[in-house]
A and B are shown apart, each in its own frame.
Chain A
Amino acid sequence: MVHVDDPRARWSVSASEVIRIVAAADWSGGAPIDVLAALGHAPRARSLRVVIARGERGRELPLLGVGALAVGDVDPTSVLPLPLLLATRTPQVSAIIAAADGSLSLLIEPSAVLFPSDSVAGEELCPSHS
């Protein structure tokens, strides 16, 4: 698991979903996605690193890596799926990870994170006739 100790909220992504991690200065793709801002946290404009995960349909998904990064194993029993009450409203988060010290981390589901340029669901089905 790759953990990002973002001061707004700790989040994690499965290492198998991470393609690479690069310094922000070396990232030449589109603007990285602030996944916590998409969840309603105050947005951050920049970070030192970009976590490139495997997004929907295998697309590279650049995520803003604000805060210290760490890689480590997680006990499967500490991965707690979100209750349905919340899961339907936050599909980008599949679970929380409860660490032994009591701290919590949001487990991000990269395939559910939308690119800012993605069309609103349904738009593709309604092409313009102009």
Chain B
Amino acid sequence: MARRQNSFVRSFVPITIESTWIAVDMAAVREIGGPLTWIALPTASATLPGVAAWRGRAIAVADLAAVLGSGERLTAPTGRVRTLYLQQGASTLAVPVDAVREPLTVSDSDVRAPRVRTESFCTGELDVEGHTTLVVNLGVLLDAHRPAVASGLH
């Protein structure tokens, strides 16, 4: 987070899943790519339903439609039109999305408390191109999946 004229500024990448607008912290974005090829591991979890190869390693695939509880779930072996590769702590996630918008930098005061969704992964809301946009922290999701023994994380 940077400071500008006595107020903090934050950078986000707005994305969409069907009609839902979401903003993820720009600092977490490692890469934005095209459609993802992945393989399903349905017993893993609904929110992390499979695995993909990226930069010579296997990474978990996150289904934001399952996270949000709305929209069509991912179906292997293809994803959505775009893929965000996010770094969350020691873990990297592939997140298929329908669209990626222009990154934006906003003042901290432009991010208001979440009203539309109150789950722990929703950390705020802001307006992007006239749409109420959820600010999400996918690291919260990973905490629920992380094994008790924190060794050997990929």
Contact = CB atoms under 8 A, between A and B. Distances in A.
B39 A86 contact: no
B146 A85 contact: yes
Contacts of B59: 83
B43 interface: yes
Given A96-B39, A102-B37, A86 B44 contact: yes
B60 A85 contact: yes
Interface stretch (B47-55, B99-107, B112-120, B128-136): B47-55
Interface centre among A38, A80, A81 (most CB of B within 10 A): A80
Contact of A90 (B41, B53, B152, B153): B41
Contacts of A96: 39, 51, 53, 58
B121 to A, nearest CB: 15
B56 A77 contact: yes
B58 A80 contact: yes
Interface in B139-154: 142, 145-147, 152-154
B51 A84 contact: no
A82 B145 CA distance: 14
Nearest to B150: A84
Given A39-B43, A89-B43, A9 B56 contact: no
B13 to A, nearest CB: 22
A41 interface: yes
B85 interface: no
A90 B43 contact: yes
Contacts of B37: 102-104
Interface of A: 9-10, 38-41, 77, 80-86, 88-90, 93, 95-96, 98, 102-106
Given A77-B56, A84-B147, A85-B60, 4 more contacts: A40-B42, A40-B43, A85-B145, A95-B58
21 contacts: A39-B41, A39-B43, A83-B51, A83-B57, A83-B58, A83-B59, A83-B153, A84-B146, A85-B60, A85-B145, A85-B147, A86-B44, A89-B43, A89-B145, A96-B39, A96-B58, A98-B53, A103-B77, A104-B38, A104-B51, A106-B39
